[in-house]
Chain A
Amino acid sequence: MTALQERPAPAVEAVSPVRRTRARRMVSPAVTARRWTVRLASVAAAVLLWHLLTQRDVVLWLRFNRIPGPVEVFEAFQVQLGTSLYYQDLAQSLIRILSGFAIASVLGIGLGILLARSRWMADIFQPLLEIARPIPAIALVPVAILLFPSNEQGIVFITATAAFFPILVSTRHAVRALPTVWEDALLTMGASRRRVLGSVVLPGIVPGIFGGLSVGMGVAWICVISAEMISGDFGLGYRTWQAYTIVDYPNVLVGMLSIGAIGWLTSGCVELVGRRLTRWLASEQRSA
């Protein structure tokens, strides 16, 4: 019952992939500082250009004389940040997108797995989904208004529909692409179907579905804003459109910038979670 002695040679081989990825991250501070300087300068230059174009009322076919400049927008933004209405709109949009996205994730991943693993389910649902898929979610606004008792539910429905398809499709592909050897290994341990699902399928498809989740979050955001513009009574999209209708152009841009910031934040969160959950992938990318 003695253990075989550990041979040093494979240990070195085993360590190298980890080292390699860490080494790549270890960039010198000087390089980091330079890169950040370039990035900030790029943004500053864009703002300056915006300022000059609007300040001098430049009309070069594009009519910058009608666009508010960065100073005006900054002032309007400051005013907005002092109102409770702004935060209410922000929260409203966030709740809508997060609930829509959550519904889409659960349904998309669940149905995607079912479709990939059950021929019956595929035959029942596939035709319906193929018919519904080409319809842009935003075209469902009239149906949503008719179907749901409140605007709120309609907007969440549209958001969820938009995010649903990319998530569904990526899940289905990810399940189909799973190596059968993992499932076979679990089965020969006497595992049930449910155990295979939990121990192989769900963790195995994570890298594959995160692409779909990212895309889903993107379209969900587009749709929540559009839906709010059409039928909302709160939210960033509604407020932005309302500012336009009352000729309050600086606040149109405040709305746009807010939308951009929150959109960046939400997709950043998806990416962060994805990277955390797929950390093991880095160890798989061994020297080819």
Chain B
Amino acid sequence: MTDHTPSAVRADDLSLGYAGEPVVENIDLDVAPGEILVVLGHSGCGKSTLLRAIAGLIRPITGQVVADGRRVEGPDADRALVFQDDALLPWRSARRNVELPLAVQGVGRAERRRRADEWLSRVGLSRFADRLPGQLSGGMRQRVQLARALASEPGVICMDEPFGALDAQTRGSMQQLLVDAWHASGCTIVFVTHDVDEALVLGDRIVVLGRYGVVSEHRIEHPRDPERPPGPDFRAAVLEELSTTQSLAPVETGRAVA
């Protein structure tokens, strides 16, 4: 793997929404290079929208996203986005899906294949490289998506509840896989979830997001250390903050923002 410089992301007084209708307002956020920042919030609080703005898929209503010192104006290969499910192209094999970002970057065929195979083996899917996404289980598809996001070696990976559709056991092993891959790549991860326990397992920091921006920030003392997990008091404090956002969340959730 070649080295690359991790880039940080910053959100300045960000208001986001669709068709000028704000979904979430006044977000101020600072993501340190190489950290895993978990954005925790109830469904409909606009955390997916925030990720789409960081990825450059939507323009802010007000404020700005700054990545790598530059204002984000649109999507860029340096900020990958991992979706919840069904983001693989179903007519391409697992290998050809992983090759796709490399093809976009103009990497040659042989090199593309080599790197795709390497990433597929890292997520434990070497034997399934020629399978179509439809022939893989949900967990395997998410592993392919992870390999696809990592293959192009982006500085930032935005993950939108990537394990939300998986059963508990698969989810646990996927979280471990993600941490391993993150260690290997050194990229920055912005991870969105509504699951407090997932946030505690993965994050360096947890940011609780509400309708009117960041509610609270929690730094985990020994991140991703199975020996010293965050204590019950810490968990309770995060939950407490999370519960304050619920009453503020708009009732007609589950719309485009799910």
A200 vs B92: C-alpha distance when bound (angstroms): 10
Interface contact A3-B75, CB-CB below 8 Å: no
Interface contact A182-B89, CB-CB below 8 Å: yes
In the assembled complex, the CB of A19 is this many whole angstroms from the nearest CB of chain B, namely 10
B109-149 CB mask vs A (1 if < 8 Å, else 0) is 00000000000011111111001111111011000000000
The number of chain B residues with a CB under 8 A from chain A is 46
Interface contact A3-B122, CB-CB below 8 Å: yes
Instruction: Check A257 for interface membership: any CB of B closer than 8 A.
Output: no
A150 vs B139: C-alpha distance when bound (angstroms): 62
Given A2-B180, A185-B83, A187-B75, are A203 and B134 also a contact pair (CB < 8 Å)?
Answer: no
A160 vs B183: C-alpha distance when bound (angstroms): 59
4 residue pairs, one from A and one from B, having the closest CB atoms: A190-B77, A283-B134, A10-B137, A189-B101
Contact of B104 among A6, A15, A18, A186 (CB under 8 A): A186
Which residues of B does A touch, CB under 8 Å?
52, 55-57, 75-81, 83, 86-87, 89-91, 100-101, 103-105, 121-128, 131-137, 139-140, 152, 170, 173, 176-177, 180, 184
What are the residues of chain B within 8 A of A5 when measuring CB–CB?
Answer: 124
Interface contact A17-B77, CB-CB below 8 Å: no
The number of chain A residues with a CB under 8 A from chain B is 38
What are the residues of chain A within 8 A of B136 when measuring CB–CB?
Answer: 10, 14
What are the residues of chain A within 8 A of B124 when measuring CB–CB?
Answer: 3-7
A189 vs B77: C-alpha distance when bound (angstroms): 4
Interface contact A18-B87, CB-CB below 8 Å: no
Q: Chain B: which residue is nearest A181 at the CB level? A: B87
What are the residues of chain B within 8 A of A131 when measuring CB–CB?
Answer: none
What are the residues of chain A within 8 A of B140 when measuring CB–CB?
Answer: 10, 14
What are the residues of chain A within 8 A of B133 when measuring CB–CB?
Answer: 283
Contact of B75 among A181, A190, A200 (CB under 8 A): A190
A206 vs B91: C-alpha distance when bound (angstroms): 10
Instruction: Check A130 for interface membership: any CB of B closer than 8 A.
Output: no
Interface contact B77-A179, CB-CB below 8 Å: no
Interface contact B104-A191, CB-CB below 8 Å: yes
What are the residues of chain A within 8 A of B127 when measuring CB–CB?
Answer: 6, 11
Instruction: Check A184 for interface membership: any CB of B closer than 8 A.
Output: yes
What would 13 A/B residue contacts be, using CB atoms closer than 8 Å?
A3-B126, A10-B170, A11-B128, A14-B128, A17-B134, A18-B135, A185-B87, A186-B104, A189-B105, A189-B152, A190-B76, A199-B89, A280-B132
In the assembled complex, the CB of B179 is this many whole angstroms from the nearest CB of chain A, namely 11
A13 vs B104: C-alpha distance when bound (angstroms): 32
A172-190 CB mask vs B (1 if < 8 Å, else 0) is 0000000101101111111
Interface contact A182-B87, CB-CB below 8 Å: yes
Instruction: Check A35 for interface membership: any CB of B closer than 8 A.
Output: no
Q: Chain A: which residue is nearest B132 at the CB level? A: A283
Interface contact A4-B180, CB-CB below 8 Å: yes
Q: Chain B: which residue is nearest A192 at the CB level? A: B104
A284 vs B91: C-alpha distance when bound (angstroms): 9
Apart from A4-B180, A6-B127: 16 A-B pairs, beta carbons within 8 A: A14-B128, A14-B131, A14-B135, A18-B135, A182-B89, A184-B57, A185-B81, A185-B87, A188-B55, A189-B152, A190-B101, A190-B104, A200-B89, A204-B91, A280-B91, A283-B134
Instruction: Check A286 for interface membership: any CB of B closer than 8 A.
Output: yes
What are the residues of chain A within 8 A of B77 when measuring CB–CB?
Answer: 188-190
What are the residues of chain B within 8 A of A185 when measuring CB–CB?
Answer: 81, 83, 87, 89
Instruction: Check A1 for interface membership: any CB of B closer than 8 A.
Output: yes
Given A189-B80, A190-B105, are A4 and B91 also a contact pair (CB < 8 Å)?
Answer: no
A89 vs B124: C-alpha distance when bound (angstroms): 60
Q: Chain B: which residue is nearest A1 at the CB level? A: B184
Q: Chain B: which residue is nearest A195 at the CB level? A: B104
A280 vs B104: C-alpha distance when bound (angstroms): 22
What are the residues of chain B within 8 A of A13 when measuring CB–CB?
Answer: 137
In the assembled complex, the CB of B99 is this many whole angstroms from the nearest CB of chain A, namely 11
What are the residues of chain A within 8 A of B91 when measuring CB–CB?
Answer: 203-204, 206, 280
Interface contact B173-A4, CB-CB below 8 Å: yes
